[in-house]
Amino acid sequence: MDFTMGEVATELRKDLRHLVAEHVPADFLGAFTDDPADLEVAQRFCALLAERGLLCAAWPTEFGGRGGSVWEQTVVREEMWAHHEPRGAQYMGVNWVGPTLMRHGTPEQQRTHLPPIARGEVIWCQGFSEPEAGSDLASLRTSARRDERGWLVNGQKIWTSYATMAQWCFLLARTSTGERKQQGLTIFLVPMSAPGITVRPIRAMMGPHHLNEVFFDDLRVTEADVLGAVGEGWKVVQEVLAFERVGIARYARCERLLQAAPRVLGAQWDTVPAELRGRWARMLVHCRRARLLAYRVVALQSEDRVAPGDAAAYRIAVTTLDQDSAEVLSELVDQLGPDLEPVPARRQWFRRAVADHWRYSQAATIASGSIEMQRLLLSRALLAAS
């Protein structure tokens, strides 16, 4: 397991950090705030990355990428998440919608969807979870009924990130019933502007755009909107979830904030209790563990050998890291005490960044499959291998 990325990746990391420093405001904490200017920053930065072939670095050139290695794409993923994801919601299209289309899409679907994703021009949302089918996704009830004109979709999705801004939805619906609930599921590629779709935002502490309800009332879709084979959507979903669960490099932001703590505290670092400094050091070790688990899954994905248990092991490590590091960082912020005017910019940034990290971390063990489901997947994999 030699995961040395090499000189190309090192130079790429330097270039990305330079671009972020030059084009992203120092106080940027993500695109999905109450300030529309933050989303505009992300959209402009996406276009800049796309122009330089960095948005989809590992995609084949015929699909709009630059034919780089999976490790180059991993570097992009790490640097973007470390700097509060200045790609905005593009990681969804880049990390798993695009690769899924390359593997399962028709030539027409690929021509329609891949170039806009590679240019950073389109945002996708994921129509998976439902009020009674979250972690148990195969129990979903949204149905697609076939008629002489195609399909009619009816049902509801929930917790749909970016539904208020997305142009397309990667929708999973039931088209038939079988002996197992995983049978009879089909994926549809649906324009969010289509008649019959209603989006209702769910207010949450993570800010706008993250959580929404989506209702489908006699939504008309055609055979051309079906991705893969009718009734075989579960196989594709398993692959999608494996890509999605390693697609966010949460460890990179944890490590950046942890490394910043001694510099922000300055002379106050020496007065931090030894127990808290010990936990801070353990969090850095856990960052390294999560990074290596991610690299292992990336290597397996590049060889088409990734299994749900591999992604689950990484997901467990990185989401618990997210929450544990957030607690340690919050306690380190408390060590700062009250700020005296004028407050140094770096100290202001650190307070806000840690608070933002804490808010996001609360959902880490639920999003993309709860940690309980990840443990179940990992247990099954270990039992199968024993």
Q: Would you list the DSSP string of 254-281?
A: HHHHHHHHHHHHGGGGGGS-HHHHHHHH
Closest C-alpha to 220, from 296, 280, 292, 144: 144
Tell me 97's DSSP state: I
Q: Residue length, the chain?
A: 386
Q: Whole-angstrom distance between the N-terminal and C-terminal Cα of the chain?
A: 22
Residue 136 within any structural domain of the chain: yes
Domain of 285 in residue numbering reads as 249-385
What does the alpha-carbon distance between residue 50 and residue 224 come to, in Å, rounded to a whole number?
A: 28
Write down the pLDDT at residue 255.
97
Residue 237 within any structural domain of the chain: no
Q: What percent of the chain has pLDDT over 70?
A: 95
Q: And the tokens for 152?
A: 């009619």
For residue range 72-110, list pLDDT tens digits in order. 999 999 999 999 999 988 888 998 899 999 999 999 999
User: Which residue type does 112 have?
Assistant: T
User: Could you tell me if 287 and 374 lie in one domain?
Assistant: yes
User: Could you tell me if 380 and 262 lie in one domain?
Assistant: yes
User: Could you tell me if 156 and 205 lie in one domain?
Assistant: yes
What confidence tier does 3 reach under pLDDT thresholds 50, 70, 90?
Answer: low
Quote the Cα angle for 303-310-361, to 5°: 120
Give the count of beta carbons closer than 10 Å to the beta carbon of residue 366: 16
What confidence tier does 116 reach under pLDDT thresholds 50, 70, 90?
Answer: very high
User: Could you tell me if 370 and 260 lie in one domain?
Assistant: yes
Write down the pLDDT at residue 386.
76
Least confident of 76-80, 119-123, 282-286, 297-301: 297-301
Q: What percent of the chain has pLDDT over 90?
A: 65
Residue 150 within any structural domain of the chain: yes
Write down the pLDDT at residue 245.
58
The string over 284-314, giving b where at least 16 C-beta atoms fall within 10 Å of a residue's C-beta and e elsewhere, is: eebbeebbebbbbbbbbbeeeebebbbbbbb
User: Does residue 158 surpass a pLDDT of 90?
Assistant: yes
User: Higher model confidence: residue 306 or residue 160?
Assistant: 160
For residue range 232-283, list pLDDT tens digits in order. 999 998 888 766 656 689 999 999 999 999 999 999 999 999 999 999 999 9
Residue 56, classed as helix, strand or coil, is: coil
pTM above 0.85, yes or no: yes
What confidence tier does 172 reach under pLDDT thresholds 50, 70, 90?
Answer: very high
User: Does residue 1 surpass a pLDDT of 60?
Assistant: no
The residue assigned the tokens 């979250």 is 134
Q: Write the CB contacts of 20 (distance below 8 Å, at least 6 apart in sequence).
A: 79, 83, 86
For residue range 334-379, list pLDDT tens digits in order. 999 877 677 788 999 999 999 999 998 988 877 767 888 888 888 9
Write down the pLDDT at residue 283.
98
Q: Write the CB contacts of 148 (distance below 8 Å, at least 6 apart in sequence).
A: none
What rounded mean pLDDT belongs to the chain?
90
User: Could you tell me if 345 and 380 lie in one domain?
Assistant: yes
User: Could you tell me if 132 and 114 lie in one domain?
Assistant: no
Residue 41 within any structural domain of the chain: yes
Phi, psi at residue 26, to the nearest 5°?
-60, -25
Residue 242 within any structural domain of the chain: no
Write down the pLDDT at residue 241.
72
Write down the pLDDT at residue 243.
66
**In contact, 102 and 63? CB cutoff 8 Å:** yes
Closest C-alpha to 254, from 323, 176, 352: 323
The residue assigned the tokens 């700097």 is 83
User: Could you tell me if 76 and 138 lie in one domain?
Assistant: no
Q: What sections of 130-273 are H helices per DSSP?
A: 233-247, 250-265
Domain of 185, CATH number, reads: 2.40.110.10
Q: What mean pLDDT do residues 175-190 have? A: 93
Write down the pLDDT at residue 268.
93
User: Could you tell me if 356 and 273 lie in one domain?
Assistant: yes
What confidence tier does 6 reach under pLDDT thresholds 50, 70, 90?
Answer: confident
Q: What mean pLDDT do residues 205-218 have? A: 84
Cis check: omega of the bond before 342, within 30 degrees of 0: yes
User: Could you tell me if 135 and 153 lie in one domain?
Assistant: yes
Q: And the tokens for 143?
A: 């149905």
Sign of the C-alpha dihedral, residues 111, 113, 115, 116? positive
For residue range 19-36, list pLDDT tens digits in order. 999 999 999 999 888 888
Write down the pLDDT at residue 206.
67
Answer with the one of 79, 98, 122 that is the final residue of a domain.
Answer: 122
**In contact, 323 and 362? CB cutoff 8 Å:** yes
Residue 240 within any structural domain of the chain: no
User: Does residue 227 surpass a pLDDT of 70?
Assistant: yes
Residue 80 within any structural domain of the chain: yes
Count how many domains the chain has: 3
Write down the pLDDT at residue 260.
97
User: Does residue 222 surpass a pLDDT of 70?
Assistant: yes
